[in-house]
Amino acid sequence: MPKPTDLPVWTQLQQHADALHDQPLRALFAADSERFQSFSRHYEQLLVDFSKQRITADTFALLQELAQQAEVPAAIERLFSGERVNHTEQRPALHMALRNRSGGPLWFDGQDVMPEVHRVLEQMHRFADKVRSGAWTGYTGKPIRTVVNIGIGGSDLGPKLVCQALRPYGDPMLKMLFLSSIDGAHAHHILRRCDPETTLFIVASKTFTTQETMTNAVTARSWLLAALGHEAAVAKHFVAVSTNLRAVEAFGIDPGNMFVFWDWVGGRYSLWSAIGLSIMIYLGHERFYELLEGAHALDEHFRHTPLTDNLPVILALLGVWNGNFLGADTHVVLVYDDYLRSLASYLQQLDMESNGKSIDRDGDPVSYATGPVVWGGLGNNGQHAFYQLLHQGTHQFAADFLAPVHTTDPVGGHHSILLANCLAQSQALMTGRTADEARAELSAQGLQGEALEALVPYKVFAGNRCSTTVLYQSLTPRTLGMLLALYEHKVFVQGVIWHINSFDQWGVELGKQLTKSILPQLQGRAAPTLQDSSTQGLIDYCQRH
């Protein structure tokens, strides 16, 4: 696979970006009344409007050419055919198998992985049904009322996002809690909300060695045993989700209460696997399958749709255009949907852990920007907080607005006001306000002369800030599955173009190793080893105080 900067089209895009510099978005809209039709695409319940991106028909054609020259279609086929696309760990990335609802096979190393996927799905299905119906009881015979997922990173963010997002579909009798941080305050506050007799802990860890998860699991087990007084209670209140059978047994969880997944599922791509057990318990198996079906529909779209209409490919190309040619180094996710309040954090991991890389697939340092800083949150709240920077700050950014056309909670006129805010913000970012417009507005408010002129510069909005708007008709399990798969594949395509491996995460290792050398010192169990003076100073301060 080629390096992007070696592709002829890369230079053409640079020249094109320079030429486009003087054409504001406003002018592009004024010149073409069909701009929305040209630069928006539908797929099932999704509408993706990218007409507020700084592109022309030429830009779009050049970006398509970039995808061709970067051999994106061949890379998609390699992904789906189970090649070891994660070359540094010698693994495929076959999360699409977890939601493959076609009945057809998906292969890895000459073996169809689907029978195993179905086996575990059925095991989850049986277990989830028992918990939901009350047939599975705690040690003292009471039904489960609280489910605590203990996991971190990929073993936390996905299940938490989906349970929050699909709350209207969840069992109102079940309280869903997510324990992730090593901060004892998190365990303390979660356990305070649990009744040991009716709580089920799901220890979710691919490796079953993660310090935070194992420490929280041990704490939860001690808490349970202190309350219920018998080791046998563990089997009724703890289940495990992992790829590591030995570690699960060593922890004391009955292998019969273990749900497996496989090395070819990356942590941040794992909510579709047994890591989604909490989701299935909360929503029930039918809704969980609908979530998988939505993601599968998007997988099919991604695999079979020509590049010009292929939503993940389009989003990926726009990200590359903004990041590598227009100078945007952050990507802000602005969500007008309270149920998706954790989406920005979820996408932050998906994108930044996948594409926050600076060594390419040949082992060479890259000479171009790769994954952006991803941030954001609830858009309407953000308007009263950080949007100032978006409208009048000095940073270049790209934005995604997301909103549902229909709300699940029709309360008075709230939803149209919410949508109006969403649409107004992307419009304001795009059009801005000229000095003449600011002057006219101030004058209409009764200001004149020097007082008016002094305020004008502050009232000007440069505009020309680009965004994509993703509307979905309503947030169902199916649409959520589609949305998440949309972003997964976008991230993959960008990794292909940037010639990096989106499926490893070596960058998280060093801090873990250093923690192990600092901890014994902090606990006073070891003599000081050779730390730098800052780290040693901080250790000493903690010990003194």
Q: According to the binding rule CB under 6 A, does residue 152 interact with ligand G6Q?
A: yes
Q: According to the binding rule CB under 6 A, does residue 268 interact with ligand G6Q?
A: yes
- Binds ligand G6Q (CB under 6 A): choice among 210, 322, 425, 469: 210
At its nearest, how many Å lie between ligand G6Q and the CB of residue 529? Answer: 25
Q: Which stretch binds ligand G6Q (CB under 6 A): 199-207, 216-224, 487-495, 535-543?
A: 199-207
Q: Which stretch binds ligand G6Q (CB under 6 A): 153-161, 195-203, 523-531, 535-543?
A: 153-161
Q: According to the binding rule CB under 6 A, does residue 213 interact with ligand G6Q?
A: yes
Residue 295 φ then ψ, to 5° = -65, -40
> Do residues 432 and 279 make contact, with C-beta atoms less than 8 angstroms apart?
no
Q: According to the binding rule CB under 6 A, does residue 154 interact with ligand G6Q?
A: yes
Complete DSSP assignment for 253-290:
--GGGEEE--TTS-GGG-TTTGGGHHHHHHH-HHHHHH
Q: According to the binding rule CB under 6 A, does residue 207 interact with ligand G6Q?
A: yes
Catalytic residue chosen out of the listed positions 212, 290, 353, 488? 353
- Binds ligand G6Q (CB under 6 A): choice among 153, 196, 376, 379: 153
Q: According to the binding rule CB under 6 A, does residue 266 interact with ligand G6Q?
A: yes
Other beta carbons less than 10 A from residue 288's beta carbon: 26
Assigned token pair, 267? 């942590």
Q: According to the binding rule CB under 6 A, does residue 95 interact with ligand G6Q?
A: no
368 versus 375: smaller Cβ distance to ligand G6Q: 375
Other beta carbons less than 10 A from residue 105's beta carbon: 13
207 versus 416: smaller Cβ distance to ligand G6Q: 207
Site for ligand G6Q in 505-534 (CB under 6 A): 505
Alpha-carbon distance of 376 to 352, in angstroms, equals 13
Catalytic residue chosen out of the listed positions 384, 509, 516, 545? 384
Alpha-carbon distance of 178 to 168, in angstroms, equals 18
- Is 353 catalytic? The answer is yes
Q: According to the binding rule CB under 6 A, does residue 382 interact with ligand G6Q?
A: no
Strands (E), 379-466: 397-404
Alpha-carbon distance of 272 to 265, in angstroms, equals 9
- Is 197 catalytic? The answer is no
205 versus 469: smaller Cβ distance to ligand G6Q: 205
Q: According to the binding rule CB under 6 A, does residue 357 interact with ligand G6Q?
A: no
- Is 437 catalytic? The answer is no
> Do residues 88 and 501 make contact, with C-beta atoms less than 8 angstroms apart?
yes
At its nearest, how many Å lie between ligand G6Q and the CB of residue 98? Answer: 14
Strand pairing class (467-472; 46-49): antiparallel
Q: According to the binding rule CB under 6 A, does residue 234 interact with ligand G6Q?
A: no
Q: Which of 80, 77, 85 is nearest to 100 (CA)?
A: 80
- HEC string of 238-262? EEEEECCHHHHHHHCCCHHHEEECC
Q: Which residues bind ligand G6Q (CB under 6 A)?
A: 152-155, 205-207, 210, 213, 266-268, 353, 505
Which residues are known to be catalytic? 353, 384, 512
